């Protein structure tokens, strides 16, 4: 097995960004606000999105020449961690994933067209899953056929995060036997193409996308394998960042309750079956965060990061799902209620666990990468 390195680079810039983001998310996303947004149609607060854009976050990884902040995916992930912690409802992650796809695979004209819009606050997302539920992004049923400069699309995409609020969609299709991405401006999408889907994490809005017979200029297609790889990598890193934040958040909720609730004349947090489980979750959080910032370091330096990303995703999503599960149990009857915040975290944990591959999936891929 090739030796793995243990590098973590955390620049002053990232540390300032982290501080700002921690304060921002705490202020903008108190649990009351999270709950208010659950019932709303769009699922997020446009005023908060505008503030994030003004802070340069929507374009954080977009080069300065396209109006962005000129930083990397590592900084994008650094901000995503506190977002996860406070369950901030935002199309941020989808937008960042789309940005990485455009940076990796789009040609100069496509970049010049899309990236400045996103830097100014346009919302973007990727449509890469289909109803079969395959995590291998290159297994695509949808197609594009080009005739006379027009691409005609066909097929159904599913689990498209933030599709109903997005300005830009990147949908994966097969073009002449190879994967490609179609850049779709949602303003030009005929009505009825998006069908809202019901998903476990109610802080998010998902939709299916009907591509049947949709015509686009052929110049709206991104070809070559780089964009899909970038989507996978960004998806894994941002899901890990959100999960790390989520573990810390749900651990706080649990520890607070364990320090307040009494049973048999003492605080329930003094019972070891509860407190030792919390200690184990903390251990999992520490390991997950270390994997996160290592994977971010490799991504930012454009070094091979597949092993680091898969490890980070596997570890963090398992720990988060376990932490959410235990949070319910440790709240007793209250844990079974809608009003208990533990359920919000468990829902988020399960959404993240099954986004871009769950832990067993990544361990199987890692086995091939590491064990031959």
Partner 1 sequence: MTDLDSFRTEVAAWFEANRPPEPDFLLPESFMEVGTDQQFDYLRAWQRKIYEAGYLGMAWPTQYGGGGKPQAFQDIVNAEMTRQKVPFVPNTIGLNWAGPLILAIGTEAEKQRYIKNILSAEDIWCQGFSEPDNGSDLAATTTRATSDGDHYILNGAKIWTSLGSYAKYMILLARTEPGSTRYAGLSYFLCPMHTPGIETQPIRKLTGEYGFTQTFFRDARIPADCLMGREGEGWKIAMMTLTFERGATGGQAGGIARQALNVHDVLELAQTARRDGRPAIEDPLMRDQLVRFLIEDQGDRLTATRGTIPALCTERPHAIPLSQKLRTSEHRRRLLQFALTLQGANAPRWVGDANTFEGGKWQRAYFNSFSSTIGGGTSQIQANIVAERVLGLPKD
Contact footprint for partner 1 (CB under 8 A): 1, 4, 6-8, 10, 14-15, 18, 248, 251, 255, 258-259, 266-267, 269-270, 272, 275-276, 278-280, 282-283, 286-291, 293-294, 311, 314-315, 360, 363-364, 366-367, 370-372
Q: How many CB atoms lie within 10 A of CB 10?
A: 13
Q: Which residues of 85-107 are buried (b: 16+ CB within 10 A; e: fewer)?
A: bbbbbbbbbbbbbbbbbbbbbbe
* DSSP element (H, E) containing 158: strand 156-161
Q: Which of 136, 359, 366, 89 is nearest to 242 (CA)?
A: 89
Which stretches of 106-175 are DSSP H helices? 108-119
> Three-state SS for 263?
strand
Closer of 154 and 280 to partner 1 (Cβ): 280
Closer of 46 and 360 to partner 1 (Cβ): 360
Q: How far is the CB of 281 from partner 1 (least distance, A)?
A: 9
Question: What whole-number distance in Å separates Cα of residue 27 and Cα of residue 48?
Answer: 11
Q: How far is the CB of 240 from partner 1 (least distance, A)?
A: 12
Closer of 9 and 54 to partner 1 (Cβ): 9
Q: How far is the CB of 20 from partner 1 (least distance, A)?
A: 13
HSE, side-chain direction, 13 A CA sphere, residue 256 = 9
Q: How far is the CB of 358 from partner 1 (least distance, A)?
A: 13
* DSSP element (H, E) containing 183: strand 178-185
Q: How far is the CB of 237 from partner 1 (least distance, A)?
A: 15
Question: What whole-number distance in Å separates Cα of residue 101 and Cα of residue 99?
Answer: 5
Closer of 189 and 366 to partner 1 (Cβ): 366
Q: How far is the CB of 164 from partner 1 (least distance, A)?
A: 35
Question: What whole-number distance in Å separates Cα of residue 346 and Cα of residue 287?
Answer: 20
Q: Which two tokens stand for residue 271?
A: 């019972």
Q: How far is the CB of 306 from partner 1 (least distance, A)?
A: 14
Closer of 87 and 123 to partner 1 (Cβ): 87
Q: How far is the CB of 80 from partner 1 (least distance, A)?
A: 15
Closer of 251 and 352 to partner 1 (Cβ): 251
Q: Which residues of 283-304 are buried (b: 16+ CB within 10 A; e: fewer)?
A: ebbeebbebbbbbbbbbbeeee
Q: How far is the CB of 309 from partner 1 (least distance, A)?
A: 12
Closer of 255 and 352 to partner 1 (Cβ): 255
Q: Cα dihedral sign for 350, 353, 358, 363?
A: negative
Closer of 14 and 205 to partner 1 (Cβ): 14
Q: How many CB atoms lie within 10 A of CB 344?
A: 24
Closer of 158 and 316 to partner 1 (Cβ): 316
Q: How many CB atoms lie within 10 A of CB 156?
A: 15
């Amino acid at each position: 097995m090739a030796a793995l390195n243990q590098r973590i680079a955390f620049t002053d810039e990232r540390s300032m960004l982290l501080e700002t983001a921690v304060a921002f998310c705490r202020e903008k996303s108190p649990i009351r606000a999270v709950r208010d947004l659950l019932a709303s149609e769009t699922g997020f607060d446009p005023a908060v999105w505008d503030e994030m854009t003004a802070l340069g976050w929507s374009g954080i990884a977009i080069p300065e020449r396209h109006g962005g902040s000129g930083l990397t995916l590592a900084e994008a992930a650094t901000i995503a961690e506190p977002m996860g912690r406070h369950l901030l409802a935002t199309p941020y992650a989808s937008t960042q994933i789309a940005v990485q796809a455009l940076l990796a695979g789009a040609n100069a004209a496509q970049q010049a067209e899309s990236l400045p819009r996103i830097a100014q606050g346009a919302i973007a997302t990727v449509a890469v899953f289909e109803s079969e539920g395959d995590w291998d992004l290159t297994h695509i049923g949808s197609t594009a056929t080009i005739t006379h400069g027009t691409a005609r699309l066909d097929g159904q995409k599913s689990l498209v995060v933030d599709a109903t609020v997005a300005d830009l969609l990147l949908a994966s299709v097969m073009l002449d036997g190879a994967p490609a991405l179609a850049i779709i401006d949602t303003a030009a999408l005929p009505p009825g193409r998006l069908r809202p889907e019901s998903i476990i994490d109610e802080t998010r809005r998902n939709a299916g996308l009907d591509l049947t017979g949709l015509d686009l200029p052929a110049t709206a297609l991104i070809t070559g394998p780089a964009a899909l790889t970038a989507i996978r990598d960004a998806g894994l890193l941002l899901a890990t960042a959100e999960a790390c934040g989520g573990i810390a958040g749900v651990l706080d909720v649990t520890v607070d309750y364990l320090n307040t609730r009494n049973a048999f004349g003492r605080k329930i947090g003094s019972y070891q079956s509860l407190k030792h489980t919390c200690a184990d979750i903390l251990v999992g959080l520490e390991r997950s965060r270390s994997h996160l910032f290592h994977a971010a370091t490799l991504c930012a330096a454009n070094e091979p990061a597949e092993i680091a990303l898969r490890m980070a995703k596997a570890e963090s999503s398992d720990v988060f799902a376990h932490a959410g599960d235990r949070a319910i149990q440790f709240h007793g009857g209250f844990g079974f209620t809608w009003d208990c915040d533990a359920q919000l975290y468990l829902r988020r944990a399960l959404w993240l666990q099954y986004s871009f591959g769950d832990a067993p999936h990544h361990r199987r891929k890692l086995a091939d990468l590491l064990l031959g």
